[in-house]
């Protein structure tokens, strides 16, 4: 692979990492992996943040293709769209545990 191919490969990865690079977003991803599907209100209560802040973080994760939502009555229930995120979180946990970053 040459340098240009590397950049084309890594650009989407860097974009996804940028969207994930926030402790609350990682917490949202983790909660959704554990519970499979949660509403904005449920996530808000778990994270102890405002509904608007919860929605902003979910919107960013949705743009990145990490989460998606399903309308149920008057609520949006979010779930992990990209299941490979589980492997990523496991890797991050191991790196942090090993290096204490």
Helices (H) and strands (E) in the chain, counts: 5, 3
Q: Quick one: pLDDT at residue 13? A: 84
Q: How do the pLDDT tens digits run along the chain, 101 residues long?
A: 577 777 888 888 888 888 888 999 999 999 999 999 999 999 999 999 999 999 999 999 999 999 999 998 888 999 999 888 888 888 888 888 887 65
Distance CA 37, CA 77 (A): 6
- Residues 49-63 as b/e (b if ≥16 CB within 10 A, e otherwise) read beeeebeebbebbbe
Radius of gyration of the chain (CA): 15
Q: Quick one: pLDDT at residue 1? A: 59
Distance CA 24, CA 86 (A): 16
User: Which CATH code is given to the segment(s) 3-99?
Assistant: 1.10.10.10
Size of the chain in residues: 101
């Amino acid at each position: 692979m040459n340098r240009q191919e590397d950049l084309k490969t890594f650009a989407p990865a860097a974009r996804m990492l940028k969207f994930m690079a926030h402790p609350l977003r990682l917490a949202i991803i983790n909660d959704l992996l554990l519970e499979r599907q949660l509403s904005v209100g449920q996530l808000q209560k778990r994270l102890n943040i405002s509904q608007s802040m919860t929605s902003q973080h979910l919107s960013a994760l949705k743009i990145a293709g990490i989460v998606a939502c399903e309308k149920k009555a008057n609520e949006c229930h979010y779930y992990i769209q990209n299941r490979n995120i589980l492997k990523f979180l496991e890797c991050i946990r191991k790196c942090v545990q090993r290096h204490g970053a």
